[in-house]
């Protein structure tokens, strides 16, 4: 089973969230998600400055196998995107919780954080899907 870091939060659509403590969060896709996707070949990210509402389409991951939407797991403004993924999309496979991050959001409503899953709850969710 995937080994999900306990210091991260998760949503059921397989994004992870790292709360940075300064009103921003970093978002990526989980190890489980990259495994389902297979080899990632393109990543389309939102533009810096975009205002995203919780659940909005935030980008696309294309693997050899399929295209998959990335959703904003929280509401906020995109303040940074991982431009390295343009040239090295395979980083999503090799380091999903590190260099394979997607974008950073400045949150509009920090109370939304309460609805996120912790690592155990997310693991259970993955098992229920398989």
Partner 1 sequence: MGNKTALYQAHVDMGAKVVDFGGWDMPLHYGSQMEEHNTVRNAAGMFDVSHMTVVDVTGADAKEYLRYLLANDVAKLQEKGKALYSGMLNEDGGVKDDLIVYLMTDPGVTSEWFRVVVNCATRKKDLDWMAEQKAKFDDVALTEQPELAMVAVQGPKALELAKVAVNESRAKLIDSLSVFQGVESEGWFIARTGYTGEDGLEVMVPEDEVAAFWQALADAGVEPCGLGARDTLRLEAGMNLYGNEMDESINPLQANMAWTIAWEPETRDFIGRSALEAAKQAGIEQKLVGLVLEGRGVLRAHQKVIIDGVGEGEITSGSFSPTLGHSVAMARVPAATGDSADVEMRGKRVPVKVGRPVFVRNGKKVFS
Residue 117 has phi, psi (to 5 degrees) of -85, 150
Binding mask 3-42 for partner 1 (x = CB under 8 A): -----------------------------------xx-xx
Q: Please state, in angstroms and rounded to a whole number, the distance separating the CA atoms of residues 17 and 14.
A: 10
The CB-of-62 to partner 1 minimum distance in angstroms stands at 5
Using the Cα atoms of residue 118, residue 58, residue 88 and residue 34 in order, give the sign of their dihedral.
positive
The CB-of-40 to partner 1 minimum distance in angstroms stands at 9
What part of residues 49-88 is at the interface with partner 1 (CB under 8 A)?
60, 62-67
Residues that bind partner 1 (CB under 8 A): 38-39, 41-42, 44, 60, 62-67, 90, 93
């Amino acid at each position: 089973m995937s080994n999900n870091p306990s210091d991260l939060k998760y949503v059921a659509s397989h994004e992870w969230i790292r709360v940075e403590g300064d009103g921003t969060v970093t978002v990526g896709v989980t190890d489980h998600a990259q495994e389902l996707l297979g080899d990632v070949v393109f990543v389309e990210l939102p533009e810096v400055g975009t205002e995203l509402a919780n659940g909005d389409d935030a980008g696309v991951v294309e693997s050899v196998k399929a295209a998959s939407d990335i959703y904003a797991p929280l509401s906020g403004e995109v303040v940074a995107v991982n431009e390295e993924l343009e040239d090295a999309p395979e980083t999503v496979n090799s380091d999903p919780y590190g260099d394979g991050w997607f974008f950073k959001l400045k949150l509009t409503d920090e109370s939304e954080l309460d609805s996120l899953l912790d690592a155990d709850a997310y693991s259970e969710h993955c098992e229920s899907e398989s």
